[in-house]
Structures are given as structure tokens and as C-alpha cells.
Chains A and B, each alone.
Chain A
Amino acid sequence: MPFPAAGGARVPLRTAKCIRFARHGCANRPFYHIVVMDKKSPRQGHVIEQLGTWDPLVNAHGEKLCSINLERTTYWISKGALISEGCSMLLGLAGLLPIHPRVYLLAWRNRRAAAAQKVQEKEDAAQVEN
């Protein structure tokens, strides 16, 4: 009998726990639960506790929504739970953790790509004029 998505799995002693995403939703419509799990359990494995949700698709208001149970998240972080990269990027954006270096990296790459595209467009326009 599987445990519910909200959690309930046994908390094993002396094993690494991890705060990470568990995929819910369906094909072409991702939706994630932010959960605490045993580090070695599979992505859809038994959940110790659900800490929040993460909807990676932009809604009608131009927002991506994330909900976090801050009380339990800080509890598990204090217990030494590991945090997956995606989760720590999200928690960094939320202001709970320092911003993840990868966010800076991606932002810089995006800015560089945008600038390059601008230059390219200008060149194309100049060519069309000639």
C-alpha cells in the first residue's frame, strides 16, 4: 500500500534525507511537489513529508507559483537534510537561502544571448538595407 503524496513514509535513522521535487501532473503538464525523501529513494518513491508545491508553467497573470511550508522546511534544513539543485535555486529566489550560483550563471548566459541576438538583428537589418 503506497503512502499518500502528502507523506507518511518511515523516517530512516542515519540516512541522508533530501528536499527535492516529486513529479505530479501529467504528460506535457508538469507539476511538482516539494518533498522530503530518503536520498536514495526514486523520484516517485515514498515521501516522508510534503513541504510545498511548484508549478513551472506561467499562469494567466504572468507568474510562476510556488508554495512552501517555511516552518517545516527550516526544520528539515536544521536536521541536515540535503537540498537538490532545483529546490535550492527556488528557495534562493524565495529569499530563504542565498541565491544559487547557477541562477547567476543562467541569468548571465540569457543576457549574453539576448545581447547577441540584438546585434544579429541589427546586422540583418543593415544587410537588408544594402
Chain B
Amino acid sequence: MAATVTLQVYFRSIFFTNNAVLRSFQRKSWRHCSTSVNIYNDRDPAPVFFSENVQTILKKITGTDFNKVFRQRFDEKKLSPPEYKFMTDEELKQKMKNAERLSSKILQMPPVLKERQAISNILSRDPAITGFENCKFVFTDITYGLPDRKRLVVVRDPDGTLRQASWEEAERMNQIYNPRPGRKLKPPKLFQEEHLTNVLERGEYEFVLDSACAQFEPDDPEYLRITSVVYESVDKKRCYQLLHSTRHYGPLCFYLTWNKKIENLLISLLQQEKLEACADIVRLYQLIHTDCKSKMINVDPNQHLELLKAYVEHDSLQQQQLQLAIQAYQEIVRERQQYNENVKTAHGL
């Protein structure tokens, strides 16, 4: 039920990005590793993704930086000048609450689903009408109030077979008879391999992900391929911050955790001294991979550092690098503490 509601709302929300913002965040130094495309097709990720614990963790790590969530977007909507108002505390609180509600709407994550099954449903065969026409007949039911997924599309092939239309045909018909804003009848060239690599090199991840959301259904193999390529690219260049406070951060973390590639993410978070986020991701890892070793050892989930260390010791694939990162983090924290104490003693407190 929760899945369907999320899907419906997701289909309605389409956002485009401000490329200038993305560019300004772009980092210069790349670190290249091998890339591989992983698509969710062996185990179904949907029940895990929609489970309550995973959703709360993903929402928490997405973060709500209002400056980023409500930033200027060039999405062809008319701009309005900013308003300055005097408000009482209560009014301000109310406004903040409204903003939070709106941001949770904007930050709704695209669902993570398994690759859909091909349709091969033959309704009837009538070889006696072979030769009637050399083309296919496509019939679409345009009854009002039907959701696109339940709309009946049937095809009469030249050999007289009446079958249910394939996903591609049905989507094309839906776009013809019931067009969606932001979706094109023919997928943009952006999603072709040669153009996609070029765009990803420029670091416009959010733009690609938003366009993919608008163009494809979330269980379309093409959508899964594109998101996977983008996530791999983000992971390769370690610019997770570009997607922070956007609706793609949750699925990104989910993807990396699902495929056991969270080491770089953890190191990057440790460098930004976000220990709690690290612990959340380790917790997510334990929820997704229920048979992992670090889950067997009962560590207090409120002890972030302990949780992280347990993960590094038992499940991590790059132990040494992570341990170094943890040491560096601890060093920085210790030094800062020392510095504060020194300042205090210098002030004679």
C-alpha cells in the first residue's frame, strides 16, 4: 500500500535542476576505479526499501538543507521576487513547519524496484486473418480514470495473433493518448551511452537523475541502468555531496549499501566529520544484509564509533583505509578538544 502511494506521488513530482549550482559544487581531483553496472534483478529490493526502518534511516541521512532544497531551479516556472516580513515567533514556527512539510514532499525518494518482467500474454490466435494487413494494429483502452499501468493495450499482429502490448508499446501509447509533463515520446539522446558519459564527466548527476525520473518508470530496465551508471560515477568521483539534500541521495545510499560499496562513502563522511551519518549507513547495511557478521556482535546502536568499528572489523572490504580514516577523525576530534581546553586555560576559566 505504502508502495503504491509513494509511486503515485512520485509520478506526479518532476523536478529539473539548476546546473549552475551543480557546477559550482564540482570537485577537481578525480580518482578512477573500475566501473560496473549493477541492476536489481536477482533479489527484490522493494520490500527492503519500503520497510519502515530503512525509510526512516534514508530520510534522516538525506538531510534537509533548506538552502539547497528550495534553491532556484530553472524549470520554466515563473519566478517571484522574495518577500520580507516581520513575524512573531509563533508565525515563524508555523512557516518553518510549512517549509518542512514542503521539503519532505520535494525530497520524496524515487522508489527502488526490481526490474519488471516482460509481458508475453497471448489472448487469441487467428491464422485465418493472415494477409489482411501487413502492419500491426494497436488498440488502446481510453476509459476515463484508469491508471496508466492498468490501461489495456492490445496488439493484433499481421499473423492474426492478438496479444497484450509489450511495456515499450504500452508506454508509447500512454504517452500518445495521455501525455505526461516532462516525458518525451522518444527518449532524449542524453540517455544514450556516448552522450551520457559526456554529461556525467561534467558532473551533472542530478540533472540526469531527474530527467530519468521524468522519462522512465522506476522499474524500467533503462531507468535502472541509467541510475546505476550515475551512482557508479558519483561513487567513482566521490562527489556524494552533490546529491545531498536532494531526493536521489537516499536511493544512492541504498544502491551503494545493497552492492556493498559503502567504503568510499564512509571515508568521505568521516572526512566531513559526520559520524552519525556513518553510523546510520552501517545500520542500513545491517538491515539490508541481515546475515552480515557485524550484526551478530551486539553493539549499542547509540555508540556510533563502536558501530562503525565493528563494521570495519568484520564486514569491510577495505579495512585499512577505513581504519586510517577513523584514526584521522579521532585525531582531529582529540586535537580540537585539546585546543578548546588550551583556550579555556589561557582565558583562566
Which A positions have Cβ atoms within 8 angstroms of B? 52, 58, 61-72, 90, 93-95, 99, 103-104, 106-108, 110-111, 114
Contact = CB atoms under 8 A, between A and B. Distances in A.
Given A64-B135, A64-B137, A93-B139, A107 B130 contact: yes
| Chain B CB within 10 A, most for which of A107, A110, A111, A114 | A107
Interface string B119-147: 00001101011111101111111111000
Contacts of B130: 107, 111
Nearest to A96: B139
A67 B140 contact: yes
Contacts of A65: 138, 140, 173, 176
Contacts of A63: 135-138, 155, 169
Contact of A107 (B123, B128, B140, B177): B128
B170 to A, nearest CB: 12
Interface in B267-319: none
B129 A103 contact: yes
Given A67-B173, A94-B139, A108-B131, 4 more contacts: A65-B176, A107-B129, A111-B130, A114-B131
Q: Please report whether the interface of chain B is mostly helix, strand, loop or mixed according to DSSP.
A: mixed
| Chain B CB within 10 A, most for which of A52, A65, A72, A110 | A65
A109 to B, nearest CB: 8
Nearest to B145: A71
Contacts of B123: 95
17 contacts: A61-B136, A62-B136, A63-B155, A64-B135, A65-B140, A66-B139, A67-B141, A70-B141, A95-B156, A95-B162, A99-B129, A103-B132, A107-B128, A107-B132, A110-B131, A110-B132, A111-B130
Contacts of A62: 135-136
How many chain B residues sit at the interface, stated as a range, is 20 to 34
A93 to B, nearest CB: 5
B152 interface: yes
- Ranked 10 nearest A-B pairs via Cβ: A107-B132, A111-B131, A94-B139, A110-B131, A71-B143, A67-B140, A107-B129, A67-B142, A63-B136, A107-B131
Contacts of A71: 143-144
A108 B51 CA distance: 58
B212 interface: no
Interface in B43-94: none
Given A71-B143, A95-B124, A66 B129 contact: no
Contacts of B177: 67
A93 B129 CA distance: 9
A9 B141 CA distance: 23
A63 B130 CA distance: 16
